[in-house]
Each structure stands twice: as structure tokens, then as C-alpha cells.
Amino acid sequence: MKNIKGHIILLLLFATVLLQGQTMKYDSSIIKAYPFKVGNIGFAVDSMETVVGKVFRGMLYKHQIEMFNFGKKPIELKGGKSSSFVELKYEPVLIQPGQSATAFVDFDVIADLPLGPMAVELVVETNDKLNAFKFLYLLVDIVEDSAKFQTKLIIDTVPRMIFNNYNFDFGHLVRGKKVYHTFYFTNMGAQDLFVEKVSSSNACKVVVSPEEIIPPGESGRLVVQVKTVGNIGVQHRTISIQTNDPVNPVIILGVHGTVRQPPPTKQNQGFCYE
């Protein structure tokens, strides 16, 4: 009797191992099509890093990545902001076992991003029990779009400094951080523009100044850094540019924002702020 019970237990254990070891089998072409696997999802990329190459600053770059569910259960994909300049959308948002989906990537190459190489992080959030968060990277090289400056618009016979905008609102800012903004301008006059002096108000610093001489039809930029240390509430900072533009010899640029106070619970857990 004991031997019979022992054999039954062994058979049950063996059956359990077999059931647990069963996996979904797919054609080799499917496996090759999605070589990079994280958890139950395979991606149609060779590794976690995908080389994109040059992208133009100030443009919206779009990218697509195909995915495949190698698991036994449906996997839900949660779209949304992966960062302040990357947004992910999926079609469909629920991948059935043995089915594919597409990730649509919108990379907003904002003007404040520095020129040069950058690894753009993509966070694919799922309910995959093996690995809920999957990280991919797009390797880009941010460059200026020279085509933006090829059209030379001349509106006057004298030097004219014309900016693309004269004010910028950062919105809500975190106290203690440094933020940046780039102002672009063009000399729309028929004579050379001379930049004589550039100055800024407190807590605002010009980190990239324009060239001293801007030929007719040529463009330039001015990059400012704003510090939010020790400031709370609505903030205004100004930048002054003096040139030989007879119409506007002194141009005032403005940057604005609202610095938020961190919640009291994050400052001191046991302290009561009035």
C-alpha cells in the first residue's frame, strides 16, 4: 500500500514538472523577427540600444518598434509620457499570446536639449509578471536644421535683430533646479548687426552669447540658465541685448515661471508647517 502511494506521489510530481515546463513554441522566423526579449515580450531590435542617427533640434521625431507576446497570458501596455520629451503609444494596448503590437514613439527634440549624442530612454510599462518595466534606448545625434536658416528674409536697409519670441514661460518649476531656454534670432537687415552688450538680471545667466557680428540674413541664438534656489512663487527674469539696430537698440527678453514649495511631508516627516 505504501509503495502504491509512493508511486502516485511520484507520478503527480512528474506531471506537475511537465506542466510547468511547457512553453509556447513558435516558428524560427518569429523568433528571429523579435530577437531582443525582455520577460515575455520580444522586440524587433537586436539589443536594448537602437542607433537612430541624426535628428534635428526643434523637430518632432517619430519612431516605431514592433513587439511580440511570447507568453501564455495577455499583456497590457500602458502608454503615456516616458519622460518630459518622450511619449509612447501602443496599438493594440493588449497583446494576446502569440500576437504582435506596435509601439509608437514621439520624441520631441526640444530646443533646450544640447547638441550632440544622446541616449533617449524608452520605458515600456506592462503587467508582465516576469518583467513589468522594459527599458530601451534610441541613440541619436542632435543637430541643428540648417534648412531653417537658408531662407534670408530682408525687411530693412539697416541692421534689424528679430527674435522668434521675446518671452518664454517655463510653467511650474521645482525649487533648487536649474532650467535652460534658447532664444533664436535673425538679422533681417541689409547691413551687419553688431551685438554690443548682453546682460541679465539676478538668478539668470547667459550661458551662450550670440556672435558679435551677424551678417545680413544670418541667424544666431542666445541660451539662458535660470536658477530656482531660494525662490518661491511667480518669478520673472530679464535679458538685455544692446545692438546697432536703430529701430530697437535695446531688446529685452523675458523668462518666467512659478517655483513650487516642496510638500511638507517631503521636507520633514515629523514637523508641522503652518
Q: What is the pLDDT, as a whole number, of residue 272? A: 47
Instruction: Name the more confident of 80 and 268.
Output: 80
Q: Looking at the chain, list the stretches that DSSP marks H as alpha helix, in order from N- to C-terminal side.
A: 2-21, 28-33, 264-267
Number of structural domains in the chain: 2
Summarize the confidence of residues 214-242 as an average pLDDT: 89
Q: What is the pLDDT, as a whole number, of residue 76? A: 95
Distance CA 221, CA 249 (A): 17
Same domain, 155 and 138: no
Please report whether residue 270 resides in a domain.
Answer: no
pLDDT tens digit string along 33-79?
A: 999 999 999 999 988 888 888 888 888 889 999 999 999 999 999 88
Distance CA 188, CA 247 (A): 12
CATH of the domain at 119: 2.60.40.10
Distance CA 133, CA 41 (A): 11
pLDDT tens digit string along 63-73?
A: 999 999 999 99
Same domain, 182 and 218: yes
Question: Which residues on neighbouring strands pair with residue 209, listed in sequence order?
Answer: none
Distance CA 81, CA 121 (A): 11
The three grid cell numbers given for residue 263, joined into one nine-digit string:
510638500
User: How many residues are present in the chain?
Assistant: 274
Portion of the chain with pLDDT greater than 90, in percent? 44
Same domain, 212 and 136: no
Please report whether residue 267 resides in a domain.
Answer: no
Distance CA 93, CA 103 (A): 9
Summarize the confidence of residues 120-135 as an average pLDDT: 91
Q: Which of 103, 119, 143 is the last residue of a domain?
A: 143
> What strand order describes the sheet that includes 133-143?
49-56, 133-143, 116-126, 75-78, 94-95
Same domain, 118 and 97: yes
Same domain, 174 and 231: yes
Q: Which of 125, 143, 161 is the last residue of a domain?
A: 143
pLDDT tens digit string along 94-104?
A: 999 999 999 99
pLDDT at 154 over 60: yes
Q: Which of 143, 158, 192 is the last residue of a domain?
A: 143
Same domain, 129 and 202: no
Same domain, 135 and 163: no
Portion of the chain with pLDDT greater than 70, in percent? 84
The three grid cell numbers given for residue 216, joined into one nine-digit string:
545680413
For residue 191, the enclosing domain spans: 149-260
pLDDT tens digit string along 190-221?
A: 999 999 999 999 889 998 899 999 999 888 99
Mean of the per-residue pLDDT values of the chain: 83
pLDDT at 143 over 70: yes
- Among residues 116, 120, 125, the alpha carbon closest in space to that of 137 is found at 120
